[in-house]
Structure 1
Amino acid sequence: MSPANVRIAKMNDLLRTTFLTGKVVITEGIAALPDAMRSEVMERVQRFDAFTPDNDPYGEHDFGSIDVAGPGKIFWKVDYYNRDLTGGSEDPADPAKTCRVLTIMLASEY
């Protein structure tokens, strides 16, 4: 894994585990879940650590899926935008050039 991918993974993990270092977006399907179920989804996304070469081939920790009783499969994804959110980041390893956006969705919304 390249040094840039290691930096990206650390920044992605920080956003995912704290929801503090970027933007977190939930889809309509997640928003419509009962409060307790939505809370469970958010907590399980924050605790996710089941990264493997199969589900994380670039080592960036930018995608995952979990199964939750009720809504079923949930996806989460980190995308890299420029700081004013008008396009992609030219360098996702540079936090000065990147705004991370974590989206949490029902798999059926993908």
Structure 2
Amino acid sequence: MSDAGDKVARIRELNDNFRKTFAGGMMMMTASVAALPEMVRSAAWLKVSEFDAWDTGNDPHHEHDFINFELCNRNFFWKCDYYAPDMNSGSEDPSDPEKTVRVGLLMLAEDY
């Protein structure tokens, strides 16, 4: 595997771990998700952590950094972004957890 392929595989591994465990970064939600009933929010976070329906349509770069799903007749998105440790700019290398803070954002499709 090439160096680029190795980096993508490492980014995917880190993103999957973050998404499944919520460890290694910060999980956030938009105000519209926060306003939903607690049981809907909880079910949405569970869907994020259990998601495994990756295909070229939702994962063209093979990083597992974006998902969408339907729950309670609402369309949800979750997006993972990569920041530098100071949170003032993007990470220079998302494959390096020492140089990256992952931020996952759960939103309704209409928030996007």
The question of a shared fold, defined as TM-score above 0.5 by the shorter chain, is answered with: yes
Distance 1:62 1:17 in 2: 12
Following TM superposition, by how much is the alpha carbon of 1:21 offset from its aligned partner in structure 2, in angstroms?
1.1
* Aligned Cα root-mean-square deviation (Å): 1.0
Which of 79, 82, 86 is residue 80 of structure 1 equivalent to? 82
In structure 1, list runs of 5 or more residues that go unmatched.
none
Superposition pairs of residues 44-63 of structure 1, within 5 angstroms: 44-63=47-66
Instruction: Tell me the equivalent position of 2:27.
Output: 24
Q: TM-score, normalised by structure 2?
A: 0.94
Between Structure 1 and Structure 2, how many residues are aligned? 109
Quote the residue 1:108 is aligned against: 110
TM-score norm. by structure 1 comes to: 0.96
- Taking the aligned partners of 1:35 and 1:99, their CA distance within structure 2 comes to 27
Paired position in structure 2 for 1:89: 91
State the SS of the aligned residue for 1:2.
helix
Q: Once the two structures are aligned, what percentage of the paired residues are identical? A: 44
1:19-48: CA deviations, max 9, x gaps?
Answer: 111000111011001011111001001101
CA distance in 2, matches of 1:55, 1:8: 16
